Structure 1
Amino acid sequence: METITNIREREIVRPNESMLKYNGRYGEYGGAYIPDVLAKPLEKLASEFEKLARTSTFQHELIYLLKQYVGRPSPLYRASRLSEYIGSTIYLKREDLNHTGAHKINNTIGQVLVAKHMGAKEIIAETGAGQHGVATATAAALMGIPCKVFMGAKDAERQALNVRRMKLLGAEVITTTMGTATLKDAVDAALMYYVDHPDSFYLLGSQVGPHPYPKMVGYFQSVIGNEAREQILDQEGRLPNSIFACAGGGSNAIGLFSGFLEDAEVEIFGAEGGGLGKPGYTAATLSYGKPGVFQGTYSYCLVDENGNPCESHSVAAGLDYPGISPQHAYLKDTGRAKYFPVSDDEALKAFELLSQLEGIIPAIESSHAVALAAKLLKNKKQLAIVNLSGRGDKDVEREF
């Protein structure tokens, strides 16, 4: 029987160690703007993660689970019919084929391993589309740690299948009707619970929030970009002209981008939830937002006329969030990555397009990245990678 220690390290790509260099700041963005009661727990978490990530024991456990449990490496698939339709060669990074159906499991396996080493008695998490909630419940069940998942009531209704999956996995799903009852409010509810229960392990699902979460999430998701870089060089003998990913909080996007940040010849594009295509009815934070402190970090945020965080809108629950990763804010300001809003209608058309051309039903979130690639690469005869961050089972029964 194969064990943790006899897996050959060359059989799987590790997370990108360069992501460990960030200590809470990405240019002027990031930091930890938190209540005093959370200062010590987060300082301890930052310290423990930093030590664990550099130990061979932790690395062997992580590599074993990514390979044998998650199913990594995920394929890099040449989408021939989609490529012919667009007029450029498109490869899909198939994160939808991971166990639980999305990229979220990369991060939850990593963070629950940290929680296990720290002796955590309870895992808490937030979720929008439900994929992070399912992945958290899955990892918590694997490690035998009780789990609570906070979810906006609106998201729980439109992602009912994932709610049932979380409960089947043994998680307690706690819905909130605060605000718009979407992802922002689920994060607020989880943070309030964390303030009252600082001994819990808060497993944040995207590259947002106070330090060390952007660093941890970026590190665990960077396996996507490391794999994609190695795979495209193996299959095409060169780097792509461009890469694409959807960006809500930003975890799947930074996962792919991290493997190519130092390659100036590779253009980087993020597809935001453009909603109805105008301020007030969008989740395109980097397109319409302003820098400010939101939910523990300094980054871009959608704000109202008084400068207060405001409601967001996207057909994709996982993108329906008024904040964004501080690293993406930095990449936008430096020009290393470009971000564009993709409307609900454009995403839904891409959802059907990929399903019918390739027999792959993508998550509505991922469909935004497909739509942006189709728009920007039409008849350009370029080589590109699109991160297919999740599968669309959860969206099939929805009324659009």
Structure 2
Amino acid sequence: MTDTNQFQPNARGYYGEFGGAFIPEMLYPNVEELRDQYLSILADADFQRDFQGLLRDYVGRPTPLFEAKRLSAKYNTRIFLKREDLCHTGAHKINNTVGQILLARRLGKHRIIAETGAGQHGVATATVCALMGMECVVYMGEVDMERQKPNVYRMRLLGAEVRPATSGSRTLKDATNEAIRDWISNPVDTHYIIGSVVGPHPYPDLVARLQAVISEEIRKQLLEKTGSELPNYVVACVGGGSNAAGAFYHFLNEPSVQLIAVEAAGHGINSGHSAATSVLGTAGIIHGSRTLLMQDEHGQITEPYSLSAGLDYPGIGPLHAHLGTTGRARFVSIEDEQALRAVAELSRLEGIIPALETAHALAALEQLGAGPDDVVVLNLSGRGDKDLETYLKYADKLTK
């Protein structure tokens, strides 16, 4: 495999024209401390022993690579599902939180904060804080707290304090704003576990490296199952983009592998109720980095919309912005109703109920153009338990 330097951030944290660290002065020491130390900590043999041990014995890795034969027959191609839904806590988010809690401990931090949209990152953060005996505060938009009640209950049961974000659209963007305000007020003892490949450098790179275990496993598993490490397509949903970054990471410099990033189009790209950043976004700064984001002519953020709480973010990670603008990744937009149909389809064809976020990636299968000799790997980023209340509201669409 070739070197991936063209897809790694430079010394200033930029992927091409996207990235960087645009932060308040009070956060500078924290972010600099992290930037100065994260690579050496990640490379440390003791850290890797602890990290790999927890991934194996606590998270349940490696996760299976499952050949979905009935789904494959429907789309006349060979489809493999990377079963991140089988991770402890039910999604890929735990890979990152296990790594960051170990890093926080080595930095001497005793208090953890996080933001969450769909709640999976919040649950994963609360989980590792319970494991390590650390104080945990999770910020979550009021709207998301209502539509993701099971995850709110899980976080509280694990000992976390869940604080509602009551400003703006009261969703993921606003929860992130509140978490950053908390960090500014508590810069000495607090580590902010960002859940996606967003935020100021080094977070996009840190989270991508911790999630890269996904594509590392895919290559080994595909070689065993097909005789080749390289699929024709890798498909993943994108809000901020952590599961996609993990699934793409070890294929970035393999031009034969098509990378498919799937966004939420909500009620339609041009409906005014969408989160399709790659189509609607322009370059700007959000949450500490320069990336593509949805904004008006005055630079004010346009409120995103998706039925999926994990995809209604007005931006994307700077790595994904770079992959999209350079053409290395192809972006696809999926509407709410298409995603709901994909939930029913996977449930009935394979006996797997996916998260609503993941369902967007599944709905993109009909747009791929994959042939019968092609191999498609789809990152099944989360399970659907957390979305059952939403699915009940749309039961007529799901049970036809």
Report the TM-score when normalising by structure 2: 0.94
1:384-395 → structure 2 map (5 Å cutoff): 384-395=376-387
Amino acid at match of 2:154: R
Contact 2:289 2:318 survives alignment (8 Å): yes
Change (3 A) 1:304 1:20: closer
| CA distance, structure 1, for counterparts of residue 265 and residue 9 of structure 2 | 32
Listed one character per residue, the Cα deviations across residues 343-366 of structure 1 (whole Å, up to 9, x for unaligned) are 111111001100110000000000
| CA distance, structure 2, for counterparts of residue 20 and residue 59 of structure 1 | 21
| CA distance, structure 2, for counterparts of residue 183 and residue 225 of structure 1 | 26
RMSD: 1.5
1:238-317 → structure 2 map (5 Å cutoff): 238=228, 239-279=230-270, 280-317=272-309
| CA distance, structure 2, for counterparts of residue 365 and residue 278 of structure 1 | 17
1:331 is aligned to 323
Contact 1:246 1:366 survives alignment (8 Å): yes
Q: Does 1:147 align with 2:139?
A: no
Q: Does 1:352 align with 2:337?
A: no
Q: Which of 121, 125, 147 is 1:132 aligned to?
A: 121
Contact 2:84 2:380 survives alignment (8 Å): yes
2:227 is aligned to 237
1:226 is aligned to 216
Contact 1:123 1:202 survives alignment (8 Å): yes
Length, aligned pairs only: 385
Q: Does 1:172 align with 2:161?
A: yes
Q: Which of 192, 195, 211 is 2:201 aligned to?
A: 211
| CA distance, structure 2, for counterparts of residue 305 and residue 139 of structure 1 | 42
| CA distance, structure 2, for counterparts of residue 127 and residue 18 of structure 1 | 30
Report the Cα offset of residue 19 of structure 1. Answer: 8.0
Contact 1:19 1:215 survives alignment (8 Å): no
1:37-116 → structure 2 map (5 Å cutoff): 37-116=26-105
Contact 1:22 1:215 survives alignment (8 Å): no
| CA distance, structure 2, for counterparts of residue 362 and residue 377 of structure 1 | 23
Structure 1 segments (4+ residues) deviating >6 Å: 16-21
1:179-194 → structure 2 map (5 Å cutoff): 179-194=168-183
Amino acid at match of 1:309: I
Q: Secondary structure at 1:52's aligned position in 2? A: helix
Report the Cα offset of residue 288 of structure 1. Answer: 1.2
Report the Cα offset of residue 305 of structure 1. Answer: 3.5
| CA distance, structure 2, for counterparts of residue 323 and residue 85 of structure 1 | 33
Report the TM-score when normalising by structure 1: 0.94
Q: Which of 374, 383, 398 is 2:375 aligned to?
A: 383
Listed one character per residue, the Cα deviations across residues 36-92 of structure 1 (whole Å, up to 9, x for unaligned) are 000111000112212211110001000100000000000000000000111111000
Contact 1:245 1:366 survives alignment (8 Å): yes
| CA distance, structure 1, for counterparts of residue 148 and residue 9 of structure 2 | 36
Amino acid at match of 1:226: E
Report the Cα offset of residue 177 of structure 1. Answer: 1.2
| CA distance, structure 2, for counterparts of residue 197 and residue 333 of structure 1 | 37
Contact 1:146 1:171 survives alignment (8 Å): yes
Change (3 A) 1:77 1:323: same
Greater mean alpha carbon deviation, residues 149-158 or residues 378-387: 378-387
Report the Cα offset of residue 306 of structure 1. Answer: 2.4
Report the Cα offset of residue 18 of structure 1. Answer: 10
Report the Cα offset of residue 204 of structure 1. Answer: 0.3
Listed one character per residue, the Cα deviations across residues 317-367 of structure 1 (whole Å, up to 9, x for unaligned) are 000100110000110111110111111111110011001100000000000
1:6 is aligned to none
| CA distance, structure 1, for counterparts of residue 368 and residue 30 of structure 2 | 44
* Structure 2: stretches of 5+ with no match in the other structure: 395-400
Q: Secondary structure at 2:79's aligned position in 1? A: strand
Contact 1:19 1:219 survives alignment (8 Å): no
Amino acid at match of 1:259: H
Contact 1:242 1:268 survives alignment (8 Å): yes
1:2-17 → structure 2 map (5 Å cutoff): none
Listed one character per residue, the Cα deviations across residues 195-220 of structure 1 (whole Å, up to 9, x for unaligned) are 11112111100000001110110000
Q: Secondary structure at 1:205's aligned position in 2? A: coil
